[in-house]
Amino acid sequence: MMATKGELTNRFIGIVCACGMLFSASHAFGQSYGVELHNTLMPASGGMGGVSVADPQDLLSAINGNPSTLGYFRGTQVTFSGAWADPNYEVAHRGNGDLPGVGPFDAKSGTPGSALGNIGISQDFTSRGRSFTAGVALISTAGLGVDLAAEPNSNNAAVTLQVLHFQPSIGVRVTDRLHVGANLGVGIGLFDGLFVGSSKATPAYGLRGSFGVNYDVNDCTRIGGYYQTQEKFVFEDAITLQPFASGPSLPLDIELDLPPNIAFGVSNKRFANGRLLLAADVIYKFWEEASLFNAVYENQLVIQLGAQYDTGRFKLRGGYVWAEDAMVDVVGDVIAGITPPGAANAIQFAQGLTSNINQHRLTGGVGVPNVLPGIDLDMFFGTMLDASADYGLTSANVSSYFLGGGLSWRFGRGSGCQLAPNEWCPAAGRNCRGCSTCSTCN
């Protein structure tokens, strides 16, 4: 029995409200490489292990990842998405007197899971004789949250980091096969904690750019890559080390950087008559060039593998991710320009609060083109498999699960079968998605 127009409207409102509930940001993202999310929680890429460098399946992944791929998105498009990431974070400390005020304990972080939101819009200008697509988005970029305050022997140990970006982007079609692009992220960060002492939530601003290129090797294969610059934050007067350190109790600035990144990707849809998309990304993260994190992390290699099968009515997705253990084996006495009370022991304690050790992630998802005319629905889920590590007298155990989804509105003539313009196709007898067999669409 077919639903009436009113019933379809009510269902649509219900979907919008459900996604909207996910838009308030919390603390512990729980699904990241160190603190950076990349495209792991985007509506379509999230189901494919974050794969999106060469052939992103949602607008937000193009704006936030390889900006040259924006040129594949035609017409006017709007996407918003939400995700829930829930980590299980446990920290144990076996020392007694090695850190001021900290004794032996074994506790689970009390920081709740995170509700994260992203929203973006793009406009294709080819209809005006311009070979480019422009877009802008608000992106939940990075985050970390661990709270052990309920454990008396932890001396209220906690750390919170949140970074949100306003990100304009442009993709230019140089030839029929070659695309280039760039974006600029204007970031606001909020940081609190990490050191043993008295801290406060402190905001700071930073800038970051990305430069990308994509090439269609043939009708089935695409390759691409991008370089993302470092982003510097200075959280002024963020912490006072007194009463645990000698000398005047003056507040100190904390310098914190997000690292430079370089990524390469390849995609292929030769199999199953073009219905099967296989893709792989390689990301290299230069943590050793990032202030604060260079004291606890080493450079990190990430390999993302994803697949998508288009049944005609649904898009079924799966992904696997391997991420290198990035923790420094031998730490020094200085972090972010500060020698904390306890020196190396304190930095190992900080490693326990910022563990970047989970090597394996599994994801899945489904896309529903034209869930309503001209509107696509994408959903995903996944898990970050359990991992443990010791840092001197401190140890950490980390795992998480995550899920989310998004809605995309597409207006105007599309480009590629993943797009859904609001134009009726008489040959197919349904709303047209730009299929290659339809002369009306092409």
pLDDT digit string (tens) for 172-181?
999 999 999 9
In this prediction the pTM is 0.86
**Contact predicate 211/226, CB 8 Å:** yes
How far, in Å, CA of 103 to CA of 90, rounded?
A: 16
Is the preceding peptide bond at 421 cis, omega within 30 degrees of 0?
no
How far, in Å, CA of 333 to CA of 383, rounded?
A: 35
pLDDT at 252: 87
Residue type for position 342:
G
How far, in Å, CA of 386 to CA of 186, rounded?
A: 34
In the DSSP assignment, the letter for residue 126 is: G
How far, in Å, CA of 80 to CA of 58, rounded?
A: 10
**Contact predicate 300/320, CB 8 Å:** no
CA neighbor of 259 nearest in space, from 223, 224, 277, 233: 233
Task: Mark the ranges of the chain whose per-residue pLDDT is less than 50.
Answer: 1-27, 414-442
Sequence ranges of the domains in the chain: 27-411
According to CATH, what is the number of the domain 27-411? 2.40.160.60
Tell me what percent of the chain is helix, strand and coil, each rounded to the nearest 5.
Answer: 15, 50, 35
